[in-house]
Amino acid sequence: MKSIITLALLHIINISLYAEPMINNVINRNTTSLNGKWNIIIDPYDNGYYDYRMQENPWGFFRNQKPTDKSDRVEYDFDCSETLNVPGDWNSQKAELLFYEGSIWYKRSFDYTLNNGKRLLLWFGAVNYRADVYLNGKKLGSHEGGFTPFYFDITSLIQDKNNFLIVRVNNQRHPDGVPTINTDWWNYGGITRDVLLIEEDSIFILNYHLYLNNQNPNLLQGWIQLNDKIANEKIQIDIPELKLSIQGKTDENGIFVFESNVKHLVRWEPLKPKLYSVFLRHRQNVLKDNIGFRTITTAGNQLLINEKPVFLKGICIHEEMPMRKARANGYDDAKVLLGWALELGCNFVRLAHYPHNEYMVRMADSMGLLVWSEIPVYWTIQFGNRQTYQLAEQMLTENIRRDQNRACIIIWSIGNETPVHQERIEFMKNLALKARQLDPTRLISAAMEVHVNPSDPFTYHVDDPLGEYLDVIACNEYVGWYDGLPAKTEKIKWQTKYNKPFVFSELGAGALFGYHGDSLTRWTEEYQEYFFTEQIKMLQQIPFLTGLSPWVLADFRSPRRQLPGIQDFWNRKGLISDQGQRKKAFYVLQKWYQTIK
Ligand code: GCU
């Protein structure tokens, strides 16, 4: 039976891998950073893009030369224009850009001597929302989607001196986008993550996935993919601490699929993260990574890590540093946000509502925090639009191919609070199937809504038909905030039609730190504290509950949240304030989590 499964997996891998060449583990490759100050031109009317005269060979706009026209008619000049820091959102860098939605042209020049026979890639960690990239006057291509990496091969275009790199970034929201025009977070625009040059041999290891077989934890499996379809290339995988060395050759697709028995492997565990140094060897090159190995299975409503049931003590996190009012990025920010989650007593974090930066995921890996990773199929996207589906599938692929070696990730989420109708079920079913094809080793979920029949107002049903296609059932509920007062929880009866792990992916209430009053005065810390006290009583009565990730770790910015003197463009459901202060509810949840083993 296993051999049939392996062959099937092999077939799936061959088909799926070459549909989307994605590079991973960039952090450990031979890179040169292009981070720093880039010159910018703010272009709200998109003159630089739509002017009919500004085709591929415009007035020097994409070339490092002054326009041929000598008149003083020219009205822009990158080299004496303002700058923005890269990586970084533009909203937090200039007051006049706080609400800006439009195009900004970024430019930086650089020298680079590429050694003979080498290949050079230009890689972006993320650009929100759309990027059009030009090098030395040539358009390299475009990327849509604000939270996943992309790259271009610039080997044939690079010159030793004065390469002229231009990026048009546009963060305008679109009805057919992912997300669509309506969200509950700040639309931070810009080159929000690292920009790197990656130097590789002409043939190199592009991507790989190493994992324990979930049904046979003594079996290490996986695949290594080269950047080209070249057969018979020798590949070696070394894990010195296990005294393990696996050798093999690529097939006609440039892929080496392997499996090997492993002995004495120490599993990655929640809050006890064991990471192994793994060395991937091809020709004279060695690519190192730090990888944890564990199994994930389910049994009824139990979620098992390494064959042991786990209750998910979680919290939702946006990718934002509240004290800076800016996108979070880098290990330092990750340490703060995930440190707060550990302090709260979490073993699980839901990284909402989009793929966070890789530093966050690698930090969770090294802290032993289980991760729910999500793409921004959020609310009312255009489920009947084929291009919108392709875009969602592209983001899912980019997310999985970047992070598939991070043991901490146990759930790939394909969306949040999407309306129940046939087009959406078809859309999400196909996304779930794609996720399984890309990564058969993890669980698939989505944050759904509960269903209440008006004739029976206190029975809450977990019965979204999408659940048929998911491994973990998850719902957002706000009983006591959007839905009645906190005491309403006493009347609620929960029912599920699924015999699968069940998680409350959101529950929460707002409070302004330092605003005090009685427990029924909305927006006080006491109301939020009372909300959590009543919620916990209800949660403890739900026999099929596998875990929760309350909304939300810290107050975050949102244009929807404007109540003067209370919200002021902040969503106040954080357990931690926008200045990093713990609200009273933080300690209620922390106390309960401490009682759960
Ligand atoms: C929704 C949504 C969140 C939003 C939250 C809220 O459930 O998923 O993105 O911020 O509710 O209303 O605060």
Q: Which domain holds residue 258?
A: 205-294
d(CA 517, CA 288): 55
Q: Which atom of ligand 1 is nearest to the CA of 573?
A: 13
| Number of folded domains that form the chain | 3
The reply to whether 26 and 127 lie within a common domain is yes
Last residue in a domain, options 294, 313, 345: 294
Chain centroid to CA 497: how far?
30
Q: Are 368 and 268 in contact (CB under 8 A)?
A: yes
d(CA 56, CA 42): 20
Last residue in a domain, options 245, 269, 294: 294
For residue 309, the number of C-alpha atoms closer than 13 Å in the C-beta half-sphere is 14
- The pLDDT of 392-403, averaged and rounded, is 98
**Is 520 inside any structural domain?**
no
Q: What stretches of 3-129 adopt beta strand conformation (E)?
A: 31-33, 36-43, 83-86, 103-110, 118-124
The reply to whether 26 and 86 lie within a common domain is yes
Name which residue leads in pLDDT, 334 or 1: 334
Last residue in a domain, options 294, 318, 340: 294
Q: Are 408 and 356 in contact (CB under 8 A)?
A: no
**Is 489 inside any structural domain?**
yes
Q: Which atom of ligand 1 is nearest to the CA of 482?
A: 12
**Is 168 inside any structural domain?**
yes
What's at 103, amino acid-wise?
Answer: S
The reply to whether 328 and 456 lie within a common domain is yes
300-326 residue pLDDT tens: 999 999 999 999 999 999 999 999 999
* Beta carbons within 10 angstroms of residue 492's beta carbon: 20
Q: What does the mean pLDDT of the chain come to?
A: 94
Q: pLDDT at position 18, please?
A: 57
In the numeric block, the tokens 């002409």 are attached to: 202
- Judge if the beta carbon of residue 505 lies within 6 A of ligand 1: no
In the chain, DSSP finds a helix count (H) and a strand count (E) of 8, 35
Q: Are 408 and 369 in contact (CB under 8 A)?
A: yes
Q: CATH code at 167? A: 2.60.120.260
The reply to whether 195 and 218 lie within a common domain is no
The reply to whether 8 and 93 lie within a common domain is yes
Q: pLDDT at position 597, please?
A: 87
Structure tokens at 499: 């015999």
Q: Which atom of ligand 1 is nearest to the CA of 417?
A: 8
- Judge if the beta carbon of residue 403 lies within 6 A of ligand 1: no
**Is 563 inside any structural domain?**
no
The reply to whether 412 and 503 lie within a common domain is yes
Q: How far apart are the first and last CA of the chain?
A: 37
In the reported structure, the alpha carbon of residue 185 is separated from the centroid of ligand 1 by a whole-number distance in angstroms of 9
**Is 519 inside any structural domain?**
no
The reply to whether 220 and 192 lie within a common domain is no
The reply to whether 221 and 79 lie within a common domain is no
**Is 107 inside any structural domain?**
yes
**Is 527 inside any structural domain?**
no
**Is 591 inside any structural domain?**
no
In the reported structure, the alpha carbon of residue 381 is separated from the centroid of ligand 1 by a whole-number distance in angstroms of 16
- Judge if the beta carbon of residue 571 lies within 6 A of ligand 1: yes
pTM value is 0.95
The reply to whether 457 and 335 lie within a common domain is yes
Q: CATH code at 231? A: 2.60.40.10
d(CA 170, CA 131): 7
* Beta carbons within 10 angstroms of residue 30's beta carbon: 14
The reply to whether 194 and 210 lie within a common domain is no
d(CA 178, CA 387): 10
- Judge if the beta carbon of residue 477 lies within 6 A of ligand 1: no
**456 Cβ neighbours under 8 A, 6+ residues apart:** none
The reply to whether 163 and 86 lie within a common domain is yes
79-108 residue pLDDT tens: 889 999 999 999 999 999 999 999 999 999
Which residue is closest in CA terms to ligand 1's atom 3?
A: 184
Q: Using omega within 30 degrees of 0 as the cis cutoff, is the peptide bond preceding 100 cis?
A: no
In the numeric block, the tokens 């098992």 are attached to: 304
Q: CATH code at 344? A: 3.20.20.80
534-555 residue pLDDT tens: 999 999 999 999 999 999 999 9
The reply to whether 241 and 125 lie within a common domain is no
In the numeric block, the tokens 């390494």 are attached to: 306
Q: Is the pLDDT of residue 575 over 70?
A: yes
